Amino acid sequence: MALKSRRNKPEVREIVQAGHPVLRSQADLVATSRIGTKELNDLIDDMVATMRDAPGVGLAAPQIGLPLQLVVIEDRAAEPEDLDERNRKSVPLTVLINPKIETFGAQDVEFFEGCLSVKGYFAVTPRHERARVTALNEKGDEIVLDWDGWPARILQHECDHLAGKLYVDHMDTHTFSRVEYLIDNDES
Ligand code: ZN
């Protein structure tokens, strides 16, 4: 009797921290031949598990040490108190492969922002109000996201990771703060 192939439980990976060279490298394109393979799907599952475990609202592959243009995003901000002046709203689980980003408007929307790879700190970081991303999803279909408000901030933050950038490159340095002095923040 043939054994059914059994899928391993997704693994929560270690999130690398600022100072690791992969966070400062341009990530490589994911070969389209890998899309839909068990190997890539397992990696995506691991990234989702890692993001949820952290918890965070986004994770880019360089954050688990892989220089690949692969991002997962999910924001379960469903409670009314989360739908605040930051224009935060729920974002369903979204996988972005080889994303290309365009931004619109001045880079002048300022809120505290954090990063799972700069753990324990936040700073006011200016972002564009709107971002449009063209990418492939986990099935290899082209998707276009045109988001504003907090989800647009997440897109800008995650696409920065693929270009070797961190929010600290854009932040208002005078606001750089340990989390214990702040409340209600979400890292990505
Ligand atoms: Zn980050």
User: Is pLDDT of 44 > 90?
Assistant: yes
Q: Tell me if residue 158 is catalytic.
A: yes
Taking the centre of ligand 1 as the mean of its atom positions, its distance from the CA of residue 61, in whole angstroms, is: 10
User: Is pLDDT of 7 > 70?
Assistant: no
Instruction: Please state, for a pLDDT cut of 70, what percent of the chain lies above it.
Output: 89
Number of Cβ within 10 Å of residue 102's Cβ equals: 11
pLDDT digits (tens, 9 = 90+) for 74-87: 998 756 655 567 88
pLDDT at residue number 85: 77
Taking the centre of ligand 1 as the mean of its atom positions, its distance from the CA of residue 2, in whole angstroms, is: 43
For residue 117, give the nearest of 152, 180, 66 by alpha carbon.
66
User: Is pLDDT of 185 > 60?
Assistant: no
Taking the centre of ligand 1 as the mean of its atom positions, its distance from the CA of residue 117, in whole angstroms, is: 6
Residue from 102, 158, 180, 187 carrying the catalytic annotation: 158
CB 91 within 8 A of CB 73: yes
Number of Cβ within 10 Å of residue 109's Cβ equals: 20
Q: How confident is the model at residue 3 (pLDDT cuts 50, 70, 90)?
A: low
The overall average pLDDT reported for the chain is 92
- What torsion do the CA atoms of 160, 161, 162, 164 make, to the nearest 10 degrees? 90
Taking the centre of ligand 1 as the mean of its atom positions, its distance from the CA of residue 8, in whole angstroms, is: 27
User: Which stretches within the chain are classed as H helix?
Assistant: 38-53, 149-162
User: Is pLDDT of 1 > 60?
Assistant: no
Phi then psi for residue 36, to 5 deg, are: 90, -5
Taking the centre of ligand 1 as the mean of its atom positions, its distance from the CA of residue 5, in whole angstroms, is: 35
Q: Find all residues with CB under 8 Å of 64, minimum gap 6, and list them.
A: 13, 14, 15, 16, 46, 47, 50
pLDDT digits (tens, 9 = 90+) for 120-133: 999 999 999 999 99
Q: How confident is the model at residue 88 (pLDDT cuts 50, 70, 90)?
A: confident
pLDDT at residue number 76: 87
Q: pTM score, two decimals?
A: 0.91
pLDDT at residue number 162: 98
- Pairing relation of β-strands 109-114 and 142-148? unpaired
Sign of the C-alpha dihedral, residues 62, 64, 69, 75? negative
